[in-house]
Amino acid sequence: MEEPILEIVDELNVSGVYKELSHPASGGICVFIGAVREFTNNEEVVALEFETYKTMALKEMQKTVVQASEKWPFNKVVVRHVVGVKKVEDPVVVVGVSSAHRDACFPACRYIIDTLKQTVPIWKKEIFRNKEVWVSAHP
Amino acid sequence: MELLLFGIAKDIVGRSTINLSPDSTLPGSVAELKKLLVADYPDFSKLSSFAVAVNSEYANDDVVLGHNDEIAIIPPVSGG
């Protein structure tokens, strides 16, 4: 695995990710993009607000991509997540993996986004018209 | 000893850091810190869970806390 690209950013531009993942030994590139959805349980979401504990988030991202690389061989990886207020349809996270064949990059990409959601210290607040809710905070 | 607060933990306490004065009894371990927080701010007990990070690593209850450690309260994460 080449040096991973791991970033917390204010604005996420996903258009350059192909170039970041392209590699002469990679015949497969898998990219997941998470975006702001308009409705949660039939309630209209005005915006999402993300915050992070950056030093720890980058460390946890690093651990996650190392774990993934031990399970599936890949050449390049990008994990980039936003902070701040994001509107409906804005991209908020991109995870991309490039590998020799698709049977490595698909599960690696899935593992990285699933693990990120469980361990990386990033918090999301849903802003509705009349209330704000930190996601997953309460049972 | 300074605690960093994020997400709903910041809302519960009403600010982004807590300074535990050296004069008061400082928590010696992660478990003691959790107990202290729940006692001072009962809303912490209503959360699904919360973790503590010491020097930006998740820390088990038995981890010992030092004066110069960077300590953070990690409520349930929800990135992505």
DSSP run (H or E) holding B70: none
Residue B7 forms contact with A (CB below 8 Å): yes
- Residue A39, pLDDT score: 94
- Residue B25, pLDDT score: 72
CB contact under 8 A, B7 and A120: no
Residue B77 forms contact with A (CB below 8 Å): yes
Q: For A43, left (φ over 0), alpha (ψ -120 to 50), or beta? A: beta
Q: For residue A98, what are the β-bridge partners? A: A29, A76
Contact A98, A24 (CB under 8 A): no
Position A139 in a domain:
no
Per-residue pLDDT of chain A (139 residues; tens, 9 = 90+): 999 999 999 999 999 999 999 999 999 999 999 999 999 999 999 999 999 999 999 999 999 999 999 999 999 999 999 999 999 999 999 999 999 999 999 999 999 999 999 999 999 999 999 999 999 999 9
> Residue holding tokens 């973790």?
B51
Print the domain residue range for B53. Answer: 2-74
Q: What is the CATH number of the domain that holds A25?
A: 3.90.1170.40
Residue A66 forms contact with B (CB below 8 Å): no
**Total number of domains constituting chain A:** 1
Ranges under pLDDT 50 in chain B: none
Position B37 in a domain:
yes
Q: What was the ipTM of the complex prediction?
A: 0.94
Position A25 in a domain:
yes
- Residue A68, pLDDT score: 98
DSSP run (H or E) holding A60: helix A54-71
Integer Cα distance of B69 and B4 in angstroms: 11
CB contact under 8 A, B79 and A56: no
Q: For residue A35, what are the β-bridge partners? A: A91
> Residue holding tokens 């919360």?
B50
Cβ count within 10 A of residue B19: 9
Q: What is the CATH number of the domain that holds B28?
A: 3.10.20.30
